[in-house]
Structure 1
Amino acid sequence: MIVKPVDHYFLSQKEPYQSIMLYVRSVILNTLPEVVERYSYKIPFYNIDKKPLLYLNILKGTDYVDVAFVQGVLLENDFPILKYNHNRKQVRSIPLKTLEDLDQEQFVELLIAAAHQVKQSKRPWFI
């Protein structure tokens, strides 16, 4: 059996990160059937129309899963759960230390809004 790099990434994470990432992944894939899961820059990316929508990461020196939206700056007013950290110009993210930190209903709304935003944009990295 061949394990895809993105699956290997998830399975090599320590708990609670592994459970959080697998849960977030399932919500993404169930909410946005058109999304394409890719492994690039050594982390899982989720693309729509070949443009990056979001990625999952554990930033060095942190104790949470970073659910990072590439065009998050355009969504932060409507979705205050998106946080600005690490001086990123356009990326905004949801830090998840536990599964309980994720409001699934709100996350699904955010996924749908972010997908719509990316589909409308001419290019994913605009800043």
Structure 2
Amino acid sequence: MKLVDQYFLNQKEPYQSIMLYVRGIIFNALPEVEERYSYKIPFYNCHGKPMIYLNVLKGKNYVDVAFVQGVLLEKEFPVLKNDNKRKQVRSIQLRALEDLDHDNFVKLLHVASKILKDSKKAWFL
């Protein structure tokens, strides 16, 4: 079993279901995406660069769907928040599956992929 699969199986509900649902959307929307296990969490790379990661932050009661270049996306997608005073990363906090607007999330994935493709590197701040 891959480490990333083990990570998902080790999550408590509802986090496990939320993460698996988001993972499915990512794979369906971006067939070219590569799933990796880095820093003990799942990362999704596009164009050879990290684009999204999934995490349950200690002391928080949600799944953090974090976009590496989120600062470039937050005006067009106000669902992205800077909850932890991060310089570049912005994220969607999901407490339940119903919290995710599927169509808007797919659009966000496509825009994020395009921006990342045109970027020289993922981490710029």
Q: State the TM bucket, normalised to the shorter chain.
A: over 0.9
The whole-number CA distance in structure 2 between the counterparts of 1:75 and 1:123 is 16
Give distance in 2, aligned partners of 1:71 and 1:31.
18
Q: For residues 1-127 of structure 1, what are the structure 2 equivalents within 5 Å?
A: 3-127=1-125
* TM-aligned CA deviation for residue 27 of structure 1: 0.1
Structure 2 counterpart SS, 1:56: strand
**Which deviations, in whole Å up to 9, do the C-alpha atoms of 1:64-98 show, x marking residues without a partner?**
00000000000000000000111100000000000
TM-score of the pair, normalised by structure 2 = 0.99
> 3-state DSSP class of the match of 2:32?
coil
Matched residue count: 125
SS at match of 2:44: strand
How many Å separate the matches in 2 of 1:76 and 1:95?
14
Q: Which SS does the other structure have where 1:76 is aligned?
A: coil
Q: Distance in 1 between matches of 2:114 and 2:32?
A: 12
State the one-letter code of the partner of 1:21. M
| SS, match of residue 18 in structure 2 | helix
Moved over 2 A (4+): none
Write the letter of the residue equivalent to 1:32. L
1:49 CA displacement:
1.7
Q: Tell me, in whole angstroms, the C-alpha distance in 1 between the residues paired with 2:20 and 2:84.
A: 24
Of all paired residues, the percent bearing the same amino acid is 67
Using the size of structure 1 for normalisation, the TM-score is 0.97
Gapped runs of 5+ residues in structure 2? none
Structure 1: any 5+ residue segments left out of the alignment? none
